[in-house]
Structure 1
Amino acid sequence: MRKMTGQNPVTIVAVGTLDTKLAEYLYLRSQILEADPSTNVILVDAGRSATQHEAITVSQPEVLKASSASDGSLKSLPRGEVVKTMIDGAKRVISDLVNESKVHGVIALGGSGGTSISAAAMRELPLTLPKLIVSTVASGDTSSYVAESDITMMYSVVDIAGLNDVLRAVITNAAAAIAGMARSYAARCSAQTGDEARKKCVAITMFGVTTPAVTVARQRLEEMGFEVYVFHATGAGGRAMERLLREGRLDGVLDLTTTELADELVGGVMSANEDRLTTAAKTGVPQIVSVGALDTVVVVNFGPKDTVPEKFRDRKFFEHNPSVTLMRTTSEECGELGKRIASRLRANCVNAGAIEVWLPLKGVSAIAVQGQAFYDNKADKALFDAIKSGLDGSGIAVKEADADINDLDWAKSIARRLAELVNSESKG
């Protein structure tokens, strides 16, 4: 590893396959330095073959050596295995750089392979650390690259295969962007002296049909001095919240909108994963769980209603907006959802006193109250009964209210109770 020079105020890591894109990375490096000459650019080579250049800070053999999947050679491996090996090595190298040095941003250029390597490494890094990928695949579905992280992706327009006027302009923009983000990040880090008392941080989950309750709860918690993070329950939102819980960055959770479990069960497009609704219970972080939008499954996203999958055509639908179509969960599905909520909370619980489940008996979403499109008392009852039965004897409190989920007094009460649980836990 080439020795890093100086104690520059801003350090940016550039990671890529330098055996095929050295010229493009050297141009990227020059443009970062053009934007801020004091920047320390750490160039990491994650290519298939070793490349020699004085600007390379971490060589390909060093990345390869860091991989637990490597025997020291890539020659006999198919392309897919090469990418997996270099992903593992790049993850370890970049994580070490971030942990050991003051890194303020990470950037990459790549096609599908290079993007896979850099994105996998960036997803492991702390949230809010600037991460930018200029990629040939950035104009399509980028969810597999970004996941629940805060990676920024920029479409390269042309392939990253030789410099030309278009690519130079795109790279120059990207260099200016990462330089600016890194400077801003460095300034924030410098401003965090640690002397000021940190606000307690709580999360709330939201969907369009639970927005009124979330808005009131958020405002009430903010009035009580909490920092509030609202997560849109789109799959990625739930995963992001669970990640922040794993990182120890949340003091409490108001999981008011658990609709992602319905998508997971039925096959909707906004499923989170099987870790959903487990982390707070495992870590003992105070949480109040409710059943917001469990009447809905998102079966169409970014498309018209007539694109609903054939297997769902005989179900009850609601056009949430021209791009999103919702499907009503059945009584059987609601019963299973209730069992899953109870099971996940019960199986992972380390402190029953830190968990409560609140059930709004008059409707679980804005469109599930009496007179609205998804009103179904039988389905709601199946959901509530399964939760109560599944948690019986667990020590986890279940509280029922003669209100719908967007009742404003109910929302204030649930916010106030979460604050009591969080404050009680911090005193203990």
Structure 2
Amino acid sequence: MNDAKVIVLSTLETKQDETDYLVTCLTEKGAKAQVLDISLASGGTILDSLGKLDAMEAQIQAAVRTLAQDLGRACAVVALGGGTGGEIAMRIFRSLPATFPKVLITPLPFDPRAAVAETSVMLVPTLVDICGLNDTLREVIQNAAAMVAGLCGGPRRTQVERSIGVTGLGSTEAAVKGLVSGLTVQGHEATVFHSNGFGGAGFARFAQAGAFKAIVDLTPHEVTRLHIAGVHIPMPTRFSAGGDLPRIVVPGAANFIGLGEPSTLAPDYLERPHYQHSGYFTHAKVTPDEMAQIATALIDALNANTGPRALIVPMGGFSHQDCPGGAIEDPALRDVFLETAHARLAADISLQVIDAHISSPEITTAILATLNTFMKETHV
């Protein structure tokens, strides 16, 4: 165990005994713990809605300032919290480096996808409420302490080489795998982000932080969520972050709307061609008008970037079910996309129209060749 410490975030007004037990477990595992109280300092009174929100914001800002000073001597930050404490901790976590070790011990009284979209957090569900110690909670805290202590067992890698930022989904998985394999052969490392309405926030954060030397937006599916329908979080820089980098865009998965279980869908979507991607997710084909809207938004964003850019359109299909016999095959939709591209794409952007499916070797070869040209031009 090195000399680094674990910073423990907790609302001591309501979680003192549980926090003390966590500190004891960490100490037994050889980890040094420093507790940072994120209580609302209400003195036991019940705050009204605005008062509570103001108190939460004050605690978040105070904790962020403290962590900015202490983080260099820390190996991990662990938080213990329910609804309010968990939200405070998650917002504090977002101020920390994206991959710095962060652990939240919580009964998960919220959907965690938005909270972890752009920062790495290890979630430890308590199964029971954090409201007094019991055998179940003790065991969960013991397990969490062992995990956190393990994070402090050695030096962390801080030097990260820039990679090729790539976007993907299960519906473009074959294309992603082919591209990643090709990049590896050429000596490049790829970092792939899941374009599911949440992963794009992480993609944008890394792009803004300078983590990429080039971008292949193979699966800009989130344009459908942002402009048509589907669950997502705000990501205003999804298509602009890293705008000066070499960038290749392919309309992967731009032909469907990503929705939930069939029982949750509005009748309009069930009347369209659709299929269940999994037990949780249903993909419904976009309409021609929606495709025009999607293409316009995507191409306008590409026009606004400043680096070397290319748009590659695979006229054989945009996703794995957009193929002969596929559940949402529709060549006419691809024509709508291409017509919009011809009408709106800036003259200085390379447009490559290839009569092949997105998963075909021809598309991978075109991406790699274009990327090599761009990187030579920019000396990346």
Correspondence 1:15-414 to 2 at 5 A = 15-36=9-30, 39-49=31-41, 78-98=51-71, 101-137=72-108, 141-183=111-153, 186-189=154-157, 199-269=161-231, 273-281=235-243, 284-300=244-260, 303=261, 305-347=262-304, 349-351=305-307, 354-393=308-347, 395-414=348-367
Aligned-residue offset at 1:423: 4.5
Q: Could you report, residue by residue, the CA deviation over 1:178-237 in whole angstroms, capped at 9, with x for unpaired residues?
A: 111232xx4233xx6x6xxx7541122112221121111100101111111122221222
> What SS does structure 1 have at the residue aligned with 2:337?
helix
Instruction: Provide the rounded CA distance (Å) in 2 between the counterparts of 1:209 and 1:272.
Output: 23
Letter in structure 1 aligned against 2:224:
A
Aligned-residue offset at 1:350: 2.8
Q: Is the 8 A contact 1:105 1:130 kept in 2?
A: yes
Q: Is the 8 A contact 1:286 1:422 kept in 2?
A: yes
Q: Is the 8 A contact 1:220 1:416 kept in 2?
A: no
Q: Is the 8 A contact 1:90 1:118 kept in 2?
A: no
> What SS does structure 2 have at the residue aligned with 1:162?
coil
Q: 1:170 to 1:204 in 2, by over 3 A?
A: same
Q: Could you report, residue by residue, the CA deviation over 1:146-201 in whole angstroms, capped at 9, with x for unpaired residues?
A: 23321111122222222222222211111111111232xx4233xx6x6xxx7541
Q: 1:295 to 1:173 in 2, by over 3 A?
A: same
The gaps in structure 2 that reach 5 residues or longer are: none
Q: Could you report, residue by residue, the CA deviation over 1:34-60 in whole angstroms, capped at 9, with x for unpaired residues?
A: 111xx3322111112299xxxxxxxxx
Letter in structure 1 aligned against 2:291:
C
TM normalised by structure 2 equals: 0.91
Letter in structure 2 aligned against 1:401:
I
Q: Could you report, residue by residue, the CA deviation over 1:76-102 in whole angstroms, capped at 9, with x for unpaired residues?
A: 96222211221222233223422xx23
Instruction: Provide the rounded CA distance (Å) in 1 between the counterparts of 2:270 and 2:363.
Output: 36
Q: 1:182 to 1:310 in 2, by over 3 A?
A: farther
Instruction: Provide the rounded CA distance (Å) in 2 between the counterparts of 1:232 and 1:147.
Output: 10
TM normalised by structure 1 equals: 0.82
Aligned-residue offset at 1:319: 2.2
Q: 1:76 to 1:147 in 2, by over 3 A?
A: closer
Aligned-residue offset at 1:22: 2.1
CA RMSD of aligned residues (A): 2.4
Instruction: Provide the rounded CA distance (Å) in 1 between the counterparts of 2:294 and 2:104.
Output: 38
Where has structure 1 moved over 4 Å in runs of 4 or more? Answer: 74-77
Q: Is the 8 A contact 2:162 2:210 kept in 1?
A: no
> What SS does structure 1 have at the residue aligned with 2:114?
helix
> What SS does structure 1 have at the residue aligned with 2:156?
helix
| Percent of aligned positions that are identical | 27
Q: Is the 8 A contact 2:2 2:152 kept in 1?
A: no
Instruction: Provide the rounded CA distance (Å) in 1 between the counterparts of 2:376 and 2:66.
Output: 39
> What SS does structure 1 have at the residue aligned with 2:271?
coil
> What SS does structure 1 have at the residue aligned with 2:111?
coil
> What SS does structure 2 have at the residue aligned with 1:409?
helix
Q: Is the 8 A contact 2:292 2:337 kept in 1?
A: yes
Instruction: Provide the rounded CA distance (Å) in 1 between the counterparts of 2:115 and 2:232.
Output: 16
Aligned-residue offset at 1:331: 0.7
Instruction: Provide the rounded CA distance (Å) in 2 between the counterparts of 1:48 and 1:187.
Output: 35
Q: Could you report, residue by residue, the CA deviation over 1:97-154 in whole angstroms, capped at 9, with x for unpaired residues?
A: 22xx23211101111110011111112211221111111226x522233233211111
